[in-house]
Structure 1
């Protein structure tokens, strides 16, 4: 009986992991998570492999009136970068920050470290994004992890978001209530990706 219960719990856990979907930002609306729920989600998100216990990540919350302010700043930077960007490109960028009730910027902290390679610390921060997507869905929300030029443009990162020179934006995670169920998409076949090493 105990083995059967353990198997059932394992199957439920795997089904929850297998059910993860990205919900497009344009399909996310209010309400978003309240403070207690957000902190619960973050408690899950920070349970990542972290060689050396460096905690090489931090979060920036974009909510409330900050959403429109960040959208305005991003649009101003886009017009500097791409003066010929069309209205559709501008609108997609604006709604990236204004439609979801909550966006979390996940920032990798990559200060000099003589023991833990930068790549490992960056990978740890990336794992945070994935666990945050899982935690959001577990709490009944939809979420999407986005990068694009805002994740790599140093004037935007440092001048607008306030990142230090040794910090990187791993991505922004938009979180809200999904208006539609996200469809499943084709996934890779694990068997096709698996090979055996032979000496």
Structure 2
């Protein structure tokens, strides 16, 4: 029975590793689509969100089966519950990639899309690094560093407010393109939310390791 349990947990970990790679790939391609207004790439990511959702649901099914059918110990149950929450955050991160790509296609339709506002690339880079880090932490690599994700999330929040101010300034100088600037407000908000979800994952990892909940 113990061997069956260990095998099930290891299989779940492998599936989440595959899911994590898919999410990281979506994040990377989303920026490329936004930076170049590549609608073909944006469409690929937008349509591919369904595949990620299916991966998430399959991992959730595996997690629940282990929790309900294999009688995990208290610490193992805590890990399985944290995994379920982490899967939900990963799904939302992928959803926001699709949301951003939706607006890439809208911006491209204008015929003369405005370039991303200053600072967005750096903000996106910090968020992307957060996701990569927490996925490593989930697998057990330097999980003690998970608490520092809050500092990176604060950096993203500061960038969010700065970029909103820049967008507002540009909009007042170029009111004819107000709709595009509003689209960028939504895009920047999605990036900020992605960082929040990455920080949530870090908090669930801390819960798994230390039985502390700060969310």
- TM-score if structure 1 supplies the norm length? 0.28
- Structure number with the higher strand fraction is 1
- Structure number with the higher helix fraction is 2
- Bigger relative contact order, structure 1 or 2 (CA pairs below 8 A, ≥6 apart): 1
